[in-house]
């Protein structure tokens, strides 16, 4: 017993099937689907029930092809599997604008990033939000020339003039530094990520400027490099030993905060610490971790707004927006220096 004999077997019903079922012209079905007011009430009803009877679902591929617009934004981020609070704000903002965000991760790998972005381009997404890796982005040039709307988040796209929204890393480091100084610290160490990473470089540079402003040169106070447990623990050891040990530490990102706390757990308990990036575990430690937190919601909102602006008018001048960060004092950064 065929339940729906009017649809060609094995295929999803199309507008043609609906039109045949309702006994109207193809164009009329389209009008009904798109709420065109010029269709009489009776025909609307006939079409509606034909749609229901056949379980017709419009095919967005054809729609997008015809319209030239997909109503879709792509988000190419470093990690979907990791904490990515900005993406949440991005999805919210896009949903509010009637757009769909489809995300894929680049795993911080040049090949994968390129593959993901190019796939999104070939799918003719209206715009792409990219958390770029540090490498060369020459492959973007023809895409941009062809009209791709793109906004970079968290890091700029190296060597290319594109919209981007960044956290105020410099102010964040300055705030953290000043906070520790205000609590009596004079010898402050910095544990940072590999300086080939843009944000790491920016934060490390800001820290160097703080040291210089304070008068001390003390390059022994700054330790940047790849995120490897041994490297980090060794850096902490050298920063906290010697004739002039640090009494406070600033960590350059959430992972470094974790590793630092892990090391402190077993080797020190009287060193102040201010971390960059907030995270769930910040309030798990004893004392709670004082952090410089970025404003995820503001970043997400700004990114979507910029992207929509550029889509609406590709000739918009390139803008670079810096979003303020805030210090969350929770205890770990408010202890006085230990007596030497």
For DNA, the binding residues (CB under 7 A) are 11-12, 14-16, 24-28, 30, 33-34, 37-40, 42-43, 56-59, 62-63, 65-68
Choose one: 36-44, 149-157, 278-286, 305-313; the region binding its own copies (CB under 8 A). Answer: 278-286
**42 is in the binding site of which of DNA, its own copies, none (Cβ under 5 to 8 A by kind)?**
DNA
The least CB distance from residue 105 to its own copies, in Å, is: 6
Would you count residue 228 as binding its own copies (CB under 8 A)?
Answer: no
DSSP class per residue in 258-306: HHHHHHHHHH-SS-EEEEES--GGGGTSSSBPEEEEE-HHHHHHHHHHH
Single out the residue of 12, 27, 267, 320 in contact with its own copies (rule: CB under 8 A): 12
User: What is the 8-class DSSP label of residue 331?
Assistant: B
Query: Using an 8 Å Cβ cutoff, are 274 and 254 in contact?
Result: no
The least CB distance from residue 205 to its own copies, in Å, is: 28
**80 is in the binding site of which of its own copies, DNA, none (Cβ under 5 to 8 A by kind)?**
its own copies
The least CB distance from residue 19 to DNA, in Å, is: 7
**Burial class (CB within 10 angstroms; exposed 0-12, middle 13-18, buried 19+) of 205:** middle
- For the chain, the 3-state helix, strand and coil shares in percent, each to the nearest 5, are 45, 15, 40
Q: Would you say 222 or 273 has its CB closer to its own copies?
A: 273
- Tell me the torsion sign for CA atoms 52, 56, 60, 66: negative
Residue 331, strand partner residues = 288
296: tokens are 């995820």
Would you count residue 328 as binding its own copies (CB under 8 A)?
Answer: no
Contact positions with its own copies (CB under 8 A) in 53-72:
55, 57-62, 64-65, 70, 72
The least CB distance from residue 319 to DNA, in Å, is: 29
**339 is in the binding site of which of its own copies, DNA, none (Cβ under 5 to 8 A by kind)?**
none
Alpha helices in 13-71 (DSSP H): 15-22, 26-33, 41-54, 60-67
**Burial class (CB within 10 angstroms; exposed 0-12, middle 13-18, buried 19+) of 329:** middle
**30 is in the binding site of which of its own copies, DNA, none (Cβ under 5 to 8 A by kind)?**
DNA
127: tokens are 């715009």
Query: Using an 8 Å Cβ cutoff, are 279 and 261 in contact?
Result: no
Would you count residue 82 as binding its own copies (CB under 8 A)?
Answer: yes
Query: Using an 8 Å Cβ cutoff, are 41 and 31 in contact?
Result: no
Single out the residue of 22, 32, 87, 292 in contact with its own copies (rule: CB under 8 A): 87
The least CB distance from residue 187 to its own copies, in Å, is: 26
**251 is in the binding site of which of its own copies, DNA, none (Cβ under 5 to 8 A by kind)?**
none
Would you count residue 154 as binding its own copies (CB under 8 A)?
Answer: no
The least CB distance from residue 116 to its own copies, in Å, is: 8
206: tokens are 């800001």
**38 is in the binding site of which of its own copies, DNA, none (Cβ under 5 to 8 A by kind)?**
DNA
Helix axis angle, 254-267 relative to 229-239, nearest 10°? 60
Choose one: 139-147, 158-166, 215-223, 319-327; the region binding its own copies (CB under 8 A). Answer: 139-147
Would you count residue 25 as binding its own copies (CB under 8 A)?
Answer: no
Parallel, antiparallel or unpaired: strands 150-153 and 163-167: parallel
- Residues at the interface with its own copies (CB under 8 A): 12, 55, 57-62, 64-65, 70, 72, 74, 79-88, 91, 95, 100-105, 112, 116, 118-119, 121-124, 142-143, 145-147, 258, 261-262, 265, 280-281, 283-286
């Amino acid at each position: 017993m065929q339940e729906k004999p009017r649809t060609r077997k094995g295929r999803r019903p199309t507008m043609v099937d609906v039109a045949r079922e309702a006994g109207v012209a193809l164009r009329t079905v389209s009008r009904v689907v798109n709420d065109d007011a010029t269709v009489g009430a009776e025909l609307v009803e006939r079409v509606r029930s034909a749609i229901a009877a056949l379980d017709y679902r419009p095919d967005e591929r054809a729609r997008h092809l015809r319209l030239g617009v997909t109503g879709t934004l792509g988000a190419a981020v470093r990690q979907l599997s990791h904490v990515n609070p900005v993406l949440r704000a991005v999805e919210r903002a896009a949903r509010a604008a009637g757009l769909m965000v489809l995300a894929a991760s680049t795993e911080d790998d040049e090949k994968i990033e390129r593959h993901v972005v190019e796939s999104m381009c070939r799918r003719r997404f209206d715009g792409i939000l990219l958390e770029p890796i540090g490498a060369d982005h020459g492959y973007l040039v023809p895409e941009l020339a062809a009209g791709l709307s793109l906004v970079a988040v968290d890091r700029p796209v190296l060597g290319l003039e594109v919209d981007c929204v960044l956290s105020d890393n410099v102010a964040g480091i300055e705030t953290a530094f000043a906070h520790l100084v205000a609590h009596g610290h004079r010898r402050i160490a910095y544990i940072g990520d590999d300086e080939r990473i843009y944000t790491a470089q920016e934060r490390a540079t800001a820290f160097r400027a703080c040291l210089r402003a304070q008068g001390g040169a003390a390059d022994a106070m700054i330790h940047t490099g790849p995120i490897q447990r041994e490297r980090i623990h060794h850096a902490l050891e050298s920063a906290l030993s010697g004739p002039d040990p640090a009494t406070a530490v600033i960590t350059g990102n959430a992972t470094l905060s974790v590793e630092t706390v892990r090391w402190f757990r077993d080797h020190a308990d009287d060193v102040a610490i201010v971390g960059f990036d907030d995270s769930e575990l910040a309030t798990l430690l004893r004392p709670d971790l004082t952090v410089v937190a970025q404003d995820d919601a503001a970043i997400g909102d700004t990114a979507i707004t910029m992207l929509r602006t550029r889509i609406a008018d590709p000739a918009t001048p390139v803008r670079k927006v810096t979003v303020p960060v805030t210090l969350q004092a929770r205890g770990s950064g408010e202890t006085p220096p230990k007596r030497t």
